[in-house]
Amino acid sequence: MLMKSLADSDPQIAAAIDDELARQRQTIELIASENFTSPAVLEAVGTVLTNKYAEGYPSRRYYGGCEKVDVVENLARQRACELFGCKFANVQPHCGANANLAAYAALVEPGDTILGMSLDQGGHLTHGSPVNFSGKLYNFVPYGLNLETETIDYDELERMATIAHGVGARLMIDMAHIAGLVATGAHPSPFPHADVVTSTSHKTLRGPRGGFILTNDEELARAIDKAVFPGTQGGPLMHVIAGKAVAFGEALQPSFAEYIDNVVANAAALGEGLVQGGLRLVSGGTDNHLCLVDLTPADVTGKDAEHLLDAAGLTVNKNSIPGEPRSPFVTSGIRVGSAAGTTRGFTADEFREIGGLIARVVFNADDEGVLAAVRARVDELLEAHPLYPGL
């Protein structure tokens, strides 16, 4: 039987996919948690591996016929360990939230106390938010920032907990945002300090959407494996694990280190452009891939800025700032990052200009002429850096 193409079998879905590709091509992607995978990763994720049920782990599956997918998962695990300099990796979590859920299940019991960063000061939903499983299952004690420096006050943190091992606690690091930087040494590694490290495989690592967990402790590795399956997940997504393996392999190449160096330099240039345009960066700047922007000088909310910038072809997300007076659905800031734009080929000079374009939009929210001029300049920048020209 000859299979129909997607366009023939489901034109509505095919059209939606085409529209999303067009949207990605026609906007400058500045959301710090997004990136563009390589065509090789896209190809791996779209393979027949999606057909295979593979509950369990390599050589220990609950279904037959897993010999080939075992090769894929073993490569993903080996490459993750090599990339991050650790001994054990579980590459099955479907996302970062699932990775954190499994890590908690391996480390603590429901009701146990966990010290985690407050969501409104830089943490994540899975770091103890009361609306999330983490806040419902565990007793999270939040820590945050010194509101004057807008950075973590480690002396205060130590007074709260006597850092991790000092009180016999376990130290878990969620490096989802900075995984690509850690992989190349552009950011200090959580190892050997952390007992467990969780991450996503997208963001700065530039892989498919998914999660993974790392450790050097063999006993913890066994507990983590059990916490992932059968503890919190069923069959792994073998097509996504193949994409992770490809991405880990790409990140082991010298070209990836060059890419990350550019990501860091471009984020700094983006921040310079924002400041030169009259906006303020939380903590005074950035040393990684993202900037948190205080919109107070422009007297515009994060929600409104997100819509204004989207219309100008600049995709960002609204974000709370330290001491946020507004709802998390409105906010007083935006968060911007350089990972996706760097993948697309934007230079530091272009990122500096992009920062200025953002400032022009938010300071001229009611000036249609300015907004049209920014959109035109964005289109020129995009034309110089085509996205997925082979698709």
CB 28 within 8 A of CB 313: yes
Looking up tokens 């830089």 gives 122
Given the residues 174, 225, 250, 350, the one annotated as active site: 174
376, two tokens? 């035109």
Strand, coil or helix: 76: helix
Given the residues 18, 25, 34, 55, the one annotated as active site: 55
Give the separation between CA 251 and CA 248, rounded to whole angstroms: 5
In one-letter notation, the amino acid at residue 86 is: C
29 is annotated as an active-site residue: no
Residues ≥6 apart with Cβ < 8 Å to 18: none
Given the residues 52, 61, 79, 203, the one annotated as active site: 203
CB atoms within 10 A of CB 167: 8
2, two tokens? 């000859």
Give the separation between CA 96 and CA 294, rounded to whole angstroms: 27
200 is annotated as an active-site residue: yes
Q: 2 labelled as ligand-binding?
A: no
Q: 119 labelled as ligand-binding?
A: yes
CB atoms within 10 A of CB 76: 30
Given the residues 53, 120, 170, 296, the one annotated as active site: 53
87 is annotated as an active-site residue: no
Catalogue the E-assigned strands of 73-129: 88-90, 113-117
CB 86 within 8 A of CB 191: yes
Q: 36 labelled as ligand-binding?
A: no
Q: 43 labelled as ligand-binding?
A: no
DSSP state of 224: H
**What is the per-residue DSSP string for 56-73?**
EETTEESSS--HHHHHHH
CB 204 within 8 A of CB 181: yes
Q: 329 labelled as ligand-binding?
A: yes
Q: 75 labelled as ligand-binding?
A: no
Cα–Cα nearest to 73, from 49, 95, 40: 49
Residues ≥6 apart with Cβ < 8 Å to 281: 271, 274, 275, 291, 292, 293, 294
Residues ≥6 apart with Cβ < 8 Å to 261: 184, 186
138 is annotated as an active-site residue: no
52 is annotated as an active-site residue: no
Q: 270 labelled as ligand-binding?
A: no
Given the residues 27, 200, 215, 286, the one annotated as active site: 200
203 is annotated as an active-site residue: yes
Q: 124 labelled as ligand-binding?
A: yes
CB 251 within 8 A of CB 83: yes
Catalogue the E-assigned strands of the chain: 28-29, 56-57, 60-61, 88-90, 113-117, 139-143, 145-146, 151-152, 172-174, 196-200, 211-215, 280-281, 290-294, 314-315, 317-319, 333-337
The catalytic site residues sit at 53, 55, 174, 200, 203, 209
For the annotated binding site for (6S)-5,6,7,8-tetrahydrofolate, the residues are 119, 123-125, 218, 327-329
